[in-house]
């Protein structure tokens, strides 16, 4: 690489160098020419900045190089940042020099242009689409959400204990398992959730969490479903459902605060209404509704013609139901005590009404639906054994899990949050496919 002549910095940091000559390394994102004036927009992964290039003020060579440069060609630019209120990032660059690292030939132009492309085309070119400022901003917010999520547990006495990805059994329903061969006629399955394993580590270490990729062979084509997603899961010994709801509230509030601290520019590029996030971070508890109360809310809404389909008591909530419920609040809403029949085998029954499970789903505001699912776990040996039988799960594979109820069993609880659902909500995105660098969905595994 050519030596740089002025100190190297990034677009995110130009504010610290107003009036000084600096070097930026990046790509040409856009180019507008107006007579003897060029307005190139550069991007470098930390943001974008518009350059100003008056023909009279740069060498002929620099002007000609920039004028003929194709979009997404890689460049090293020297210039002086200037504060400008109208500029999206707050600064513009008076360009003095440019060195082209690679010029894209005219005959093979960059495939993503300023014109509108369909989602299929963009997903097919996801390896390039992620360069556009909006997609880059989403990925930066995602990184902060992941960091803040782990940080919340790291700074609150939790030990990270990551479970295996290859597992001998299901956690969340046998119909959604990716199966593979595992030596000598054995089968293995890609993990659906680390929960069963972190129940074991919670009984060893007290407060634990796991954070990793999770797989669901679900044939769902909704805007909320991926076949591979990242889940963060805390699990705590001696914690009941109320304590778990408190944990979820502290956790989500922390994440939103961190995003607001560092990503106001990115959220503006993405087009998210920041006031909606500020309402979540503001003091005040998250609303809590029992399943019965949520059901009643839907019955009333249906009577008033506010939702199309009536909600059947005993059924899980559908997407339109969750959307309606969450739209009634400006903070995430916690719906607890669902009918045990629609929930997983490991959930502790409510002693006050054993047909209900001591569980909670957290529904994000603005109609984003479930982002967190969790519960208190069955801690009684015999009850858990009968649950495994009733769900026709292979008892052999669950012996170790039953051991946890045999040797020093305690009440314990945990939840899982899918990072992509959280990113979709916080960024205000239509579909989870934009929340992860390379989405895996029912009909896409390329690139
Ligand atoms: O509600 P789920 O299935 O719960 C569990 O897996 C529990 N074992 C977690 C626990 O208690 N430790 O999934 C938890 C969360 C959902 O709320 C959602 O955010 C996300 O994982 N999720 C998905 N995200 C994207 N695509 C999918 N197909 C998802 N399925 C679940
Ligand atoms: Mg769930």
Give the Å distance between the CA of 80 and the centre of ligand 1: 48
Q: Indicate whether 122 belongs to any domain.
A: no
Same domain flag for 328 and 405: yes
Could you tell me how far CA 246 lies from the centroid of its own chain?
Answer: 21
CB 242, CB 376: distance < 8 Å? no
Centre of ligand 1 to C-alpha 305, Å, is 31
Residue 198's SS3 state is helix
The verdict on residue 173 lying in a domain is no
Residues 340 and 398 in one domain: yes
Q: Which residues contact 170 (CB under 8 A, 6 or more apart)?
A: 176, 177, 189, 192, 393
Q: For residue 114, what pLDDT is reported?
A: 80
Residue 344 is assigned to a structural domain of this protein? yes
Residue 65 and residue 140 in one domain: no
In a domain, 84, yes or no: yes
What total of structural domains would you count in the chain? 2
- Tell me which residue range forms the domain holding 57: 11-102
Judgement on whether residues 82 and 139 belong to the same structural domain of the protein: no
Per-residue pLDDT of the chain (447 residues; tens, 9 = 90+): 666 779 999 999 999 999 999 999 999 999 999 989 999 999 999 999 999 999 999 999 999 999 999 999 999 999 999 999 998 889 999 999 999 999 999 999 999 988 889 999 999 999 999 999 999 999 999 999 999 999 999 999 999 999 999 998 877 877 799 999 999 888 999 999 999 999 999 999 999 999 999 999 988 888 999 999 999 999 999 999 999 999 999 999 999 999 999 999 999 999 999 999 999 999 999 999 999 999 999 999 999 999 999 999 999 999 999 999 999 999 999 999 999 999 999 999 999 999 999 999 999 999 899 999 999 999 999 999 999 999 999 899 899 999 999 999 999 999 999 999 999 999 999 999 999 999 999 999 999
What CATH number does residue 20 fall under?
A: 2.40.50.140
Same domain, yes or no, for 80 and 147? no
Q: Please name the residue whose Cα sits nearest to atom 7 of ligand 1.
A: 416
Are 16 and 144 within one domain? no
81, 143: one domain: no
Determine the distance separating the centroid of ligand 2 and the alpha carbon of 434, expressed in angstroms: 21
- Mutation to probe ligand 1, out of 218, 418, 426, 434 (largest number of atoms < 8 A from CB): 418
Whether residue 18 is contained in a domain is answered as yes
Residue 255 belongs to a domain with what CATH number?
3.30.930.10
User: Which residue has the least CA distance to atom 1 on ligand 1?
Assistant: 373
Residues 142 and 50 in one domain: no
For ligand 1, atom 30: residue with the closest CA: 225
Neighbours of 106 (CB within 10 A): 8
Which residues line ion ligand 2, judged by CB < 5 Å? Answer: 373
Counting from 1 in the atom list of ligand 1, the atom nearest the Cα of 362 is 17
Using CA positions, which residue lies closest to atom 6 of ligand 1?
193
Residues 6+ positions from 25 with CB-CB distance below 8 Å: 8, 44, 75, 76, 77, 101
407 located within any domain: yes
Ligand 1 binding pocket, CB closer than 6 Å: 171-172, 193, 195, 216, 218, 225-226, 229, 231, 233, 370-374, 414-418, 420-421, 432
- Ligand 1 closest atom vs CA 415: 11
Identify whether 203 is part of a domain.
no
Ligand nearest to the CA of 363: 1
Q: What is the pTM of this model?
A: 0.96
Residue 372 CA to ligand 2 centre (angstroms)? 7
**Residue 361 within any structural domain of the chain:** yes
């Amino acid at each position: 690489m050519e030596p740089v002549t002025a100190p190297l910095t990034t677009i995110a940091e130009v504010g610290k160098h107003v009036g000084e000559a600096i070097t930026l390394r990046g790509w040409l994102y856009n180019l507008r020419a107006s007579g003897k004036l060029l307005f190139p927009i550069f991007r470098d992964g930390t943001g974008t900045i518009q350059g100003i290039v008056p023909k009279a003020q740069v060498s002929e060579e620099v002007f000609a190089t920039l004028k003929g440069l194709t979009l997404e060609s890689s460049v090293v630019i020297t210039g002086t940042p200037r504060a400008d209120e109208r500029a999206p990032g707050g600064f513009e660059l008076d360009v003095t020099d440019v060195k082209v690292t690679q010029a894209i030939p005219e005959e093979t132009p960059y495939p993503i242009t300023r014109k509108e492309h369909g989602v299929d085309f963009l997903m097919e070119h996801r390896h390039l689409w992620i360069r556009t400022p909006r997609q880059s901003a989403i990925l930066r917010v995602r990184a902060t959400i992941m960091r803040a999520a782990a940080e919340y547990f790291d700074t609150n006495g939790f030990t990270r204990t990551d479970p295996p990805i290859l597992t001998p059994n299901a956690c969340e329903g046998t119909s959604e398992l990716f199966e593979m061969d595992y030596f000598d006629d054995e089968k293995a399955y890609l993990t659906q959730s680390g929960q069963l394993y972190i129940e074991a580590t919670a009984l060893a270490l007290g407060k634990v969490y796991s954070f990793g990729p999770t797989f669901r062979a679900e044939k769902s084509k909704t805007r909320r479903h991926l076949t591979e997603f990242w889940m963060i899961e805390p699990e705590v010994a001696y914690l009941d459902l109320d304590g778990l709801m408190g944990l979820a509230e502290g956790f989500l509030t922390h994440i939103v605060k961190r995003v607001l601290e560092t990503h106001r520019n990115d959220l503006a590029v993405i087009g998210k209404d920041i006031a909606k996030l500020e309402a979540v971070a503001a003091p005040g508890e998250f609303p809590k509704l029992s399943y019965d109360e949520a059901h009643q809310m839907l019955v009333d809404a249906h009577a008033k013609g506010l939702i199309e389909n009536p909600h059947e008591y005993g059924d899980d909530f559908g997407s339109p139901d969750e959307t309606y419920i969450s739209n009634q609040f400006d903070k995430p809403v916690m719906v607890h005590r669902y009918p045990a029949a629609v929930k997983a085998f490991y959930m502790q029954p409510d002693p006050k009404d054993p047909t209900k499970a001591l569980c909670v789903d957290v529904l994000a505001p603005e109609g984003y639906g479930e982002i967190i699912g969790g519960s208190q776990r069955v801690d009684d040996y015999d009850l858990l054994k009968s649950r495994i039988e009733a769900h026709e799960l292979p008892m052999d594979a669950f012996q170790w899990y039953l051991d946890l109820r045999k040797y020093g069993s305690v009440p314990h609880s945990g939840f899982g949050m899918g990072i992509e659902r959280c990113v979709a909500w916080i960024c205000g995105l239509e579909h989870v496919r934009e929340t992860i660098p390379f989405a895996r969905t029912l009909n896409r595994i390329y690139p």
